[in-house]
């Protein structure tokens, strides 16, 4: 069954602990968006927030790093409690080395790709990745419209795996009740959803809808 990762970007940061408690019973992992105002226009959280979230939950923490030169702070985020670290292909000059470093730190390693980046670019390091993060919006903000061509990209990622279950395929951006079915059918393993989950009185119910229980 598909796993659902609520993205805290759309949570109430004035009341983060309560927001986490609301999604925790239904969530499989939590997605945290790190933005630096350079790789993407927005600035969000640093390792301090990841540490605070770590203290509020035992769920695996999936940290999506939308920053330039992510190598500089992988260890900070790992020590703050990240279980999964994804870096953007577009931000890494030596991606293979960065993935290696994430593994040395003891976390699962993911490669994130913007809509304009072909997944085929990962073909030579696919075996080293724990997951591929297919962006279905241009990163930077929550609440954007799903980019429909992401469906084909998910299917192409499945084909590149040649029958294997790994790397897992995570999809992020514009995931809601109208887009999730096609995303699941295309073969995604993890759905990230921010605004759809948190813009609700009952976020856990939204998670169950995405998982189609
Ligand atoms: C966007 C972030 C997403 C964001 C998704 O750059 O990577 O994780 O929270 O938000 P929604 O689900 O609202 O599109
Ligand atoms: Zn994200």
- Residue-wise pLDDT tens digits, 18-62: 999 999 999 999 999 999 999 999 999 999 999 999 999 999 999
Give the residue-averaged pLDDT of 98-107.
98
Of 36, 62, 130, 172, the active-site residue reads 172
> pTM for the complete prediction?
0.98
User: Which residue is it, tokens 């393993």?
Assistant: 189
Alpha carbon of 31 to ligand 1 centroid (Å): 9
Burial class (CB in 10 A: 0-12, 13-18, 19+), 213: exposed
Three-point CA angle 129, 69, 74, nearest 5°: 60
Tell me how far apart the alpha carbons of residues 19 and 14 are, in angstroms, rounded to a whole number. Answer: 9
Assign residue 39 a region: left if phi > 0, alpha if psi is -120 to 50, beta otherwise? alpha
pLDDT digits (tens, 9 = 90+) for 115-146: 999 999 999 999 999 999 999 999 999 999 99
Compute the distance from residue 40 Cα to the ligand 1 centre, in Å: 12
How far, in Å, from the CA of 115 to the mean position of ligand 2?
Answer: 13
- Mark whether 172 is an active-site residue: yes
Q: Does residue 195 surpass a pLDDT of 90? A: yes
For residue 86, pLDDT beyond 90: yes
What's the order of all strands across the beta sheet hosting 30-35?
Answer: 3-6, 190-193, 168-172, 131-135, 108-113, 84-88, 61-66, 30-35
Pocket of ligand 1 (CB under 6 A): 7, 9-10, 31, 33, 64, 137, 139-144, 172-175, 192-196
Q: Within 13 Å of residue 78, how many CA atoms lie on the same side as its CB?
A: 18
Q: Is 83 one of the annotated active-site residues of the chain?
A: no
């Amino acid at each position: 069954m598909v796993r659902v990762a609520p993205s805290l970007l759309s949570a109430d940061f004035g009341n983060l602990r309560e927001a986490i408690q609301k999604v925790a019973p239904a969530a499989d992992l939590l997605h945290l968006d790190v933005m630096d105002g350079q790789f993407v226009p927005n600035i969000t959280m640093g390792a301090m927030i990841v540490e605070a979230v770590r203290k509020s939950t035992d769920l695996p923490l999936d940290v999506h790093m939308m920053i330039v030169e992510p190598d500089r702070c992988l260890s900070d985020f790992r020590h703050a409690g990240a279980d999964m670290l994804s870096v953007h292909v577009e931000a890494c000059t030596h991606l293979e080395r960065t993935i290696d470093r994430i593994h040395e730190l003891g976390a699962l390693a993911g490669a994130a790709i913007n809509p304009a980046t072909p997944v085929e670019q990962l073909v030579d390091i696919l075996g080293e990745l724990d997951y591929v993060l297919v962006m279905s919006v241009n990163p930077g903000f929550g609440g954007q419209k799903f980019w429909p061509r992401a469906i084909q990209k998910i299917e192409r990622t499945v084909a590149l795996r040649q029958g294997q279950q790994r790397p897992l395929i995570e999809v992020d951006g514009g995931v809601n009740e109208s887009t999730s079915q096609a995303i699941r059918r295309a073969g995604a393993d993890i759905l990230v959803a921010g605004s759809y989950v948190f813009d609700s009185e009952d976020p856990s119910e939204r998670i169950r809808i995405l998982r189609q229980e």
